[in-house]
Amino acid sequence: MTDVTVPRIKKIRDVYHCPPDKSISVRAVILCSFAHGRSVVKNISRCDDVLSAAGCMRNLGASIEFDGDTAYITGSPFRSAKLDCGNSATTARLLTGLLAGLDGIFEIDGDESLRNRPMSRVIDPLSIMGANIESTDGRLPIKIIGSALGGLEYFTPVPSAQIKSALCLAALNGSAPVKIIEKVKTRDHTERMLKGMNGQIKTIGNTVVCAPSVLFGRDITVPGDISAAVYMMCLALATRRECMIRGVGLNETRSHIITLLRRCGADISIDNVTESDEPYGDIRVRGGVLPFEIGGEDIPLLIDELPALAALACFANGTSVISGAEELRYKESDRIKNTVSALRALGADIEETGDGMVIRGGKQLLFGTVDPKGDHRIAMAAAVAGAAGQGVLISGGDCVSVSFPDFFAEVSGV
């Protein structure tokens, strides 16, 4: 654990290069390891979560070699294995689905934070399909005894791409299709990737139907991570400066943050859009923002961006409210509690509510010490508030490597 000091910044960069998307990189590692043949994944993230996914897939039998930001992956039939998912819930939940219908015994575990996160949200519907999974009170560690799976029609109780993806991956190895209906359409990276690998999958509105399939490897290029770009966007808006972030993923199930920031007055333009399975382009951000109220259906569409938005709200004159975000309590840490305590340590006027927070922005922030509790997104949100305010010391700030290993060099190095 390394402490990191972020000083008040005098200038921001004109141009940032967006780091590769973590969600898509984890999916590429998992699906290419399961598919027949060889895949080349370009611009793959080398963040901790992706390395954890790669470690699991190698234990299952796949061959994965990294060369800079390219991964060469050769799929293989899976063997029984013990899998350490580290901090990555996406890895743990997607693998639970993928492995439930395969022959073998698979033990899945993770770090202390991941052991605290609910797994019952995937185990329950998988059990209805016929899965045999022993858990520790609905959490990790779990033991999957591979068994025959049937079909399922399931209305997800919380909007979650991880639940949807776990069930789609289980369907690949089952004997009948799985239909998943969501109240709000969550990120659809799994669906897009499966379609490109011969997965028998159809999407109609908020409903996805995935049938048993044989996957074939393919070449994939990972776009930049909009959930990482948000820290640069918020830094520019908090300091009322201008910057360009290149190569940002613009999948419409992830880009709601742009709509929201524009709604609060930010001047954002998008150029050089490349249309592919996962579109991407350059984002230019300038100006500042007005206070905002976010709740309801906005929340699942920008759940990972909320700590950064809370930091930004400290620089918008007036009261901002985030509500309907109880899911934040089940992330890498309790992100309602920890965002509030991080920003309060810097002098922000912020209050915790049951399902969100209230931020009275415009108060001068002070230098302070923040403990992000090992949560990468809290550390990065605190860094934005400190850089735009009077600086911050982040205890164990190196936890940013979970999603964005070069974060501090990017935000401080002008």
Please enumerate in sequence order all residues whose Cβ is within 8 A of that of 45, keeping only pairs 6 or more positions apart, or say none: 19, 20, 21, 22, 25, 222, 225, 403
The window from 56-64, 155-163, 269-277, 406-414 that contacts ligand S3P (CB under 6 A) reads: 155-163
Nearer to ligand S3P, 21 or 282 (CB): 21
From candidates 178, 235, 248, 303, binder to ligand S3P by CB under 6 A: 303
* Residue 59 phi, psi dihedral angles, 5° rounding: -60, -30
Side chain identity, residue 225: D
Catalytic residue among 48, 188, 304, 371: 304
Q: How is 75-139 classified by DSSP, letter by letter?
A: ------EEEE-TT-HHHHHHHHHHHHTSSSEEEEE--HHHHTS--HHHHHHHHHHT-EEEEETTE
CB of 389 to ligand S3P, least distance (A): 26
Does 333 sit near ligand S3P (CB under 6 A)?
no
- Going from the C-alpha of 306 to that of each of 40, 41, 111, 194, 245, the distances in angstroms are 33, 29, 23, 29, 19
The window from 157-165, 198-206, 217-225, 252-260 that contacts ligand S3P (CB under 6 A) reads: 157-165
Residues in 346-405 that interact with ligand S3P by CB under 6 A: none
In this structure, are residues 51 and 402 in contact, taking their beta carbons and an 8 Å threshold? no
CB of 414 to ligand S3P, least distance (A): 29
Active site residue 371: no
From candidates 13, 185, 187, 256, binder to ligand S3P by CB under 6 A: 187
The window from 161-169, 283-291, 393-401, 404-412 that contacts ligand S3P (CB under 6 A) reads: 161-169
Does 90 sit near ligand S3P (CB under 6 A)?
yes
The window from 59-67, 125-133, 148-156, 160-168 that contacts ligand S3P (CB under 6 A) reads: 160-168
Nearer to ligand S3P, 304 or 371 (CB): 304
Nearer to ligand S3P, 88 or 239 (CB): 88
Does 88 sit near ligand S3P (CB under 6 A)?
no
Nearer to ligand S3P, 23 or 96 (CB): 23
* Residue 251 phi, psi dihedral angles, 5° rounding: -45, 130
Does 161 sit near ligand S3P (CB under 6 A)?
yes
Size of the site for ligand S3P (CB under 6 A): 9
Nearer to ligand S3P, 161 or 233 (CB): 161
The window from 54-62, 77-85, 159-167, 380-388 that contacts ligand S3P (CB under 6 A) reads: 159-167
Does 160 sit near ligand S3P (CB under 6 A)?
yes
In this structure, are residues 279 and 223 in contact, taking their beta carbons and an 8 Å threshold? yes
From candidates 23, 43, 45, 239, binder to ligand S3P by CB under 6 A: 23
Find where tokens 């029984």 sit. 80
From candidates 225, 278, 298, 304, binder to ligand S3P by CB under 6 A: 304
In this structure, are residues 26 and 56 in contact, taking their beta carbons and an 8 Å threshold? no
Nearer to ligand S3P, 284 or 337 (CB): 337
CB of 195 to ligand S3P, least distance (A): 17
Please enumerate in sequence order all residues whose Cβ is within 8 A of that of 252, keeping only pairs 6 or more positions apart, or say none: none
Cα R_g (the chain), whole angstroms: 21
Does 162 sit near ligand S3P (CB under 6 A)?
yes
First to last CA, the chain: 25
Nearer to ligand S3P, 39 or 165 (CB): 165
Q: How many CA atoms lie within 13 A of 95 on its CB side?
A: 35
In this structure, are residues 85 and 122 in contact, taking their beta carbons and an 8 Å threshold? no
**Dist. CA 276–CA 76, nearest whole Å:** 27
Nearer to ligand S3P, 304 or 375 (CB): 304
Q: Cβ-count burial of 411 within 10 angstroms (0-12 exposed, 13-18 middle, 19+ buried)? A: buried
Does 87 sit near ligand S3P (CB under 6 A)?
no
**Dist. CA 308–CA 378, nearest whole Å:** 8
Residues that bind ligand S3P (CB under 6 A): 23, 90, 160-162, 165, 187, 303-304
Active-site annotation, residues: 304
